[in-house]
Each structure stands twice: as C-alpha cells, then as structure tokens.
Amino acid sequence: MASIPLPTPANPLRIGTRASPLARAQADMAAAALVRAHGLDPAALEIVPMTATGDRIQDRALADVGGKALWTRELDAALDAGTIDIAVHSLKDVETLREARFFLGAMLERADPRDRLVVRDGIVATTIEALPTGARLGTSSPRRAAQVKRLRRDIETLLLRGNVQTRLARLAAGEVDATLLAAAGLDRLGMDDIGTVQEAAALLPRGIAGCDRDRMPQRRCCDPRPARGGRSSADAPRGRGRTRLSFGARRRLPLAGRGLCAFYGRWSAAARCRALFRGWGGACG
C-alpha cells in the first residue's frame, strides 16, 4: 500500500456519480468514508456528477428501453475515458453481470432494505391492505407492482418514474394516490419521517436473504485476472459480514441488493483501488 500514492488536492480521486440528490448523497457518504479511513484532505476527493440516460427517460419502463444499463452507461464511458477514477452506484441499479473490464471494490454498510408506503393528502393508510378500493399506486418496479396486485387486485398500478423528489411531487399533485419508496433512499436524504415502513412479511424487499454476520466466505478484493466472458457484479466486493452476505445473495438472486451502495472501477486501476479500499473502516472488513 505504501507504494501507491493516495489522492491529494493536486491529484484528486475523481468519484463519478449520477446527478440526482440521492446519488449525490451516497457519493458524499463514500467520500467521507475514504476521508476517515486515510485521513485525507476532503479536497483530495472530487465528486463528478453526470446525468444518466435513465434519468432523462421518464415516460417509459426501463425494461422497454434498455434495462439497468441506462443507469450505468454514462459512468462506464467516463471510466473508459479516464475522466473519473471510480464510480459510486446503488447496487440495485447495476446489472447482475458486468463487463470484465470493470471490478467492484467496496460497499458501504447496508441500509434498511424495506419499502415505505407514502400516500397523498386525504388518504389515511399505513399498509397496502388499508388503501381505499381502486386506489392508484404509482411505481416503476415490476417487483412492487406484482406484490401489490397479489395483495390487492383492485389497486391500479401506474408507471411512476423519476427521482425521489419528482415522485413525491407527482404524488402531491394527485397523479397517484400512493407510492412505494425505498427506506434506504429516504433515510439517506434525511427524509426518515416520510411514509410507513412495510414489513418484509407483507412486502418482500430486494435481497431479503438472511444476513448473519461473518458467514460470507472471504473473497479476494481485486484479483487482477478478470473473469472470462463477463464478471458478476457480486464478484470480489469488500464489506463487512452482513453486507457481504447480502451481496453474495444478489449474485444468486437478481432481486437482491436493496440498500447497498457500491464502488466500481476499471481493472487497469485495481492496484490503486485496492490500496484505498483495504481496511477503510466504514464498510470494508
């Protein structure tokens, strides 16, 4: 590690992220974790926001226009061009299989994976079952829509795209009667007072596999040999036991990964990233 120079204000580590408020908040958390781990000057870390294709397309389901790659395409291109050094993603927004030239180096500690039900003014309900007959529930998630229909066939599920603030604004405008938002995202935005948590027994969140600490088998962080033909987004993460186990579950179950925030980079930069992520305290073990 001593042979790898750490970032400085003159030669900062450029951290790519989507430009949405939640993505920026998660990138700031990642930068703060690196500052704590290495005693870095905060000016040695530069946040580089960019708008993803998925942020631009608001009127169609992601499955109809390209899937999860719409969240990673611009950041991948920036990694390839060398305009950023690493990228920070929510794991739920990352394809299960990633191209072999990228590796996943570390994860922040996992947050609450459950959903929260948020209703418009005039409706009193804390669960899906308590929504009024024929309520309109906005979501862009097939998982959420399918489970809502299983619980209440009378509820109309409508496409509701956009970042957290956009969806809350459309809810307030009366476009829908209710929506489901990730508890992790609301907490990271300081909106922990919004909505009611839906217990996993009623509404299955992403990656509900058991998370007993320290049961995840140890894996190498930055194996310099990329996997042939592509690499699972769950290969070679660094993180504490509970988070690593959730991540391992994601490799086997594409629905996993809610509440996880991860760092991606190119294999050509693996040595520098290994130095940054080894023993960084916040989420690397």
45-50/178-182 β-pairing:
unpaired
Which 3 state secondary structure label does DSSP give 33? helix
86-90/13-18 β-pairing:
parallel
97-98/231-232 β-pairing:
antiparallel
Contact 62, 29 (CB under 8 A): no
Closest by CA position to 99, among listed 235, 232, 263: 232
What strands, in cross-sheet order, belong to the sheet with 156-159?
A: 156-159, 136-139, 178-182, 115-119, 196-198
Could you say which of 76, 93, 115, 177 is catalytic? 93
Residue 275 carries which side chain, given as an amino acid letter? A
How far lies 25's CA from each of 22, 89, 104, in Å? 5, 11, 20
**93 labelled catalytic:** yes
The two tokens of residue 96 are 């299960």
Report the C-alpha gap between 123 and 87 in whole angstroms: 40
Burial of 214 (0-12, 13-18, 19+ CB in 10 A): exposed
- Which residues are identified as catalytic? 93
